[in-house]
């Protein structure tokens, strides 16, 4: 699914990722943990194609070179990121944004575009399943949304777009227990043999709800340690500093 080989990324001459390697197979759930500023969002941004980074190394997605593709083509090919800080877009209706996005992607995949009615049916079912208040659909995209509403909206978008590889960038941060449950239910409902997840988190808490296949610790721009679920718990106890020393 995804094969990252010796990936380096710098911004304004400052090296953030440095020789990062990671392989994700279809159906796997990988968690990446790391202290603030360790480059977790940078990794997500580089994979999804955000501008402004000097990049070295290689990334293969479904066997093909990913780094030369425009942002929207990566998205159309099934790469999704739930943003750590979802953007507010005034004037753009949330429902309309979601519909435009889904239909653009469906078109590329050779599927029939959904008309307003079919889309409404779909989006109503999904919001209901996720226990998200459907009122957010008629509001301007993320404008005036609470932190929790923004994150739930990201999960709703993921659920509707049905990506092949979903990257969640600290989707759990700042959520209360109810919201955390909605987020993890959303992820768990989407888990399948074909679909992979890269879950970026600062806390072990989320991993109580979403059981990852692998946990990686990101320190100094590369993976310092890889383990299974217990690694997260250990990390919670000893803290990141000790981890750094251990390396």
Ligand X SMILES: Nc1ncnc2c1ncn2[C@@H]1O[C@H](COP(=O)(O)OP(=O)(O)O)[C@@H](O)[C@H]1O
Choose the binding region for another protein from 42-50, 118-126, 180-188, 228-236 (rule: CB under 8 A): 42-50
What does the block give as tokens for 147? 């932190």
Residues with Cβ < 8 Å from 137, sequence gap 6 or more?
Answer: 93, 94, 95, 98, 123, 127
CB 46 within 8 A of CB 7: yes
Residue 11 binds another protein (CB under 8 A): no
Beta strands in 127-182 (DSSP E): 140-141, 165-169
* Residue 39: contacted member of another protein, Mg ion, ligand X, none (CB under 5 to 8 Å, by partner type): ligand X
* Residue 75: contacted member of ligand X, another protein, Mg ion, none (CB under 5 to 8 Å, by partner type): another protein
Residue 87 binds another protein (CB under 8 A): yes
Residue 11 binds ligand X (CB under 6 A): yes
Residue 50 binds another protein (CB under 8 A): yes
How many alpha carbons fall within 13 Å on the CB side of residue 34? 26
Strands 196-201 and 29-33: parallel
Pick one of 55, 89, 111, 189: the residue that binds another protein (CB under 8 A): 89
Q: What single DSSP character describes residue 208?
A: G
> Taking CB under 8 A as the rule, which mask of x and - marks residues 121-150 in contact with another protein?
-------------------x----------
Question: In whole angstroms, what is the distance from residue 144 CA to residue 111 CA?
Answer: 34
What does the block give as tokens for 90? 């005034």
Residue 201 binds ligand X (CB under 6 A): no
Question: In whole angstroms, what is the distance from residue 198 CA to residue 212 CA?
Answer: 9
Neighbouring-strand partners of residue 199: 31, 168
For the CB of residue 161, give the shortest distance to another protein in the complex, in Å: 7
Residue 184 binds ligand X (CB under 6 A): no
Q: Nearer to Mg ion by C-beta: 45 or 95?
A: 45
Interface residues toward ligand X, by CB under 6 A: 11-12, 14, 16, 34, 36-42
């Amino acid at each position: 699914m995804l094969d990252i080989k010796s990936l380096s990324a710098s911004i304004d001459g400052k090296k953030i990722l440095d020789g990062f390697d990671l392989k994700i197979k279809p159906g796997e759930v990988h968690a990446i943990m790391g202290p603030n500023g360790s480059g977790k969002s940078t990794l997500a941004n580089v994979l999804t194609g955000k501008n402004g980074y000097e990049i070295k190394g290689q990334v293969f997605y479904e066997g093909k070179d990913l780094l030369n593709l425009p942002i929207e083509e990566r998205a159309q090919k099934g790469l999704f990121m739930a943003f750590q800080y979802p953007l507010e877009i005034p004037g753009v209706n949330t429902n309309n944004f979601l519909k435009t996005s889904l239909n653009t992607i469906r078109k590329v995949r050779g599927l029939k575009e959904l008309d307003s009615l079919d889309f409404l049916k779909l989006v109503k079912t999904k919001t209901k399943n996720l226990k998200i208040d459907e009122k957010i659909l008629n509001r301007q995209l993320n404008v005036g949304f609470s932190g929790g509403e923004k994150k739930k909206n990201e999960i709703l978008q993921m659920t509707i777009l049905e990506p092949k590889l979903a990257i969640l960038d600290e989707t759990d941060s700042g959520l209360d227990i109810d919201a955390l449950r909605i987020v993890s239910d959303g992820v768990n409902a989407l888990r399948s043999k074909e679909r992979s997840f890269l879950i970026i988190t600062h806390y072990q808490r989320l991993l109580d709800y979403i059981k990852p296949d692998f946990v990686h610790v990101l320190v100094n721009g590369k993976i310092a340690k890889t383990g299974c679920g217990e690694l997260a718990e250990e990390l919670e106890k000893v803290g990141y500093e000790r981890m750094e020393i251990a390396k």
